[in-house]
Amino acid sequence: MQKCYLMAPGPTPVPESVSLRMAHPAMHHRTPQFSEIFARVEAGLQYLFQTKNDVLMLACSGSGAMEGSVINFLCRGEKALVVNGGKFGERWGKIAQAYGLEVVWINSDWGVPVNPDDIAVALKNDPSIGGVFIQACDTSATVAHPIREVGEIVRQYPNVVYVVDGITAVGVADLAMDRDGIDVLVVGSQKALMLPPGLACVGVSEKAWQKNSRADLPRFYFDFKKERKALADQTTAYTPAASLIIGLDEVLEMIRQETLPVLFARHDILARATRAGLEALGLKLLAPQAPALSCTGAFLPESVDGKKFVKYVRDTMGVTFAGGQDHLTGKIIRINHMGYVDTFDVVISISAMEMALDHFGYSFRMGDGVSAAQKILQERYQR
């Protein structure tokens, strides 16, 4: 027998109570009974997003919601300013280009947060920019970008929407849509929402809805105006991901019970413990300046083949981490600590790292990583 542990940054573990809730007999999605659940979920999402704005629910992946967040708020001839600091920042630009939009790229090295001043200069110099697109956290680079600071800049431009990919930040870090000036906030189900893939949620501000009334890019399924009309009737424009919405009802109740401040503090402790454990093993962090709270990336020793390392840990030890993407393929390890993750998941992750590094011939003192992580994890029980 081998017990398996899912410690990659998406999909993340699903709580047993959520799985059991989704296993209930199917409910028709055009009934008062489902609308009651739908309304409760919408209110829970507003609590999680820290907003009074509409939060749409779409049957798609996070990438589908990203596409919808481009085509519903930009017009032909406008430019999209895209922060490209990782694989998913790059995706914003590719979506915009697919619809014939010109992209203004603000490039940032992987693992380095964007400089808000670069965005301020770009907006000042180019009035044709219609939207700023950014990741709150780009898991390919395990970096957190300065969302609130950028939001203060974009607020000054009434015709520019601020669109944030919060897929691996909402439910992890203190990301408040209304406070931070976010006009469009995207979330996917398989990250901190602790669900299987297939559901995306999008918060939309009144400023964005005003822009939506002028947007003229082609759209059909991802027509947010249709979804807003359906939302008023506590339903969706097209067939919803009903089982996932029912599961989300359970997740949001768990989050309410934990409370947002405690949830944020938990993720902070788990993230710091993971970083400390990896650094104690002599590994260099990928994003030391602004590390994400959702997952941690670290460079493996040059003597270790990263692809073989990830495969060995997963197939032999039963622990699933993620490797690197693009130019970081085979060079880094990425460990999740968002969602349904607690103290001893981190201990298992660092312990697995130690055992695997030893297997690959890396020289270090066994137990140093676990010990360093434990010293921080103790904070969870000393309040």
Asked if residue 268 and residue 250 are part of one domain, the reply reads: no
Q: What is the pLDDT of residues 80-106, one digit of tens each?
A: 999 999 999 999 999 999 999 999 999
- Across the range 315-343, mean pLDDT stands at 97
Q: Which two tokens stand for residue 58?
A: 């779409």
Asked if residue 281 and residue 209 are part of one domain, the reply reads: no
**Is 313 contained in some domain?**
yes
What's the pLDDT score for residue 218?
97
- The residues that bridge with 57 in the sheet, in sequence order, are 201
What's the pLDDT score for residue 253?
98
For the chain, the average pLDDT equals 97
> What is the number of domains present in the chain?
2
How buried is 155 (Cβ within 10 angstroms: 0-12 exposed, 13-18 middle, 19+ buried)? middle
What's the pLDDT score for residue 338?
98
What's the pLDDT score for residue 383?
66
pTM for the predicted model, two decimal places:
0.97
Asked if residue 238 and residue 368 are part of one domain, the reply reads: no
Q: What is the pLDDT of residues 165-175, one digit of tens each?
A: 999 999 999 99
**Is 9 contained in some domain?**
no
What's the pLDDT score for residue 278?
98
Q: Could you tell me which of 154, 158, 133, 122 has the C-alpha nearest to residue 71?
A: 133
Domain that holds residue 235: 16-257
The CA R_g of the chain, rounded to the nearest whole Å, is 21
Number of CB atoms found within 10 A of residue 354's CB: 21
Q: What is the pLDDT of residues 100-114, one digit of tens each?
A: 999 999 999 999 999
Asked if residue 227 and residue 336 are part of one domain, the reply reads: no
Query: 382: pLDDT confidence band, cut at 50, 70 and 90?
Result: confident
Q: What is the pLDDT of residues 232-246, one digit of tens each?
A: 999 999 999 999 999
- Across the range 302-312, mean pLDDT stands at 97
Q: Which of 257, 287, 305 is the last residue of a domain?
A: 257
Asked if residue 252 and residue 358 are part of one domain, the reply reads: no
Does 1 or 358 have the greater pLDDT score?
358
- CA separation for the pair 209, 125 (Å, rounded): 25
Q: Which of 235, 257, 279 is the last residue of a domain?
A: 257
Q: What is the pLDDT of residues 180-221, one digit of tens each?
A: 999 999 999 999 999 999 999 999 999 999 999 999 999 999
Please tell me whether the peptide bond between 240 and the residue prior to it is cis, using omega within 30 degrees of 0. no
Q: What is the pLDDT of residues 53-63, one digit of tens each?
A: 999 999 999 99
- DSSP of 192-242: TT-S-SS-EEEEE-HHHHHHHTT--S--STT-HHHHHHHHTTTS-SS---H
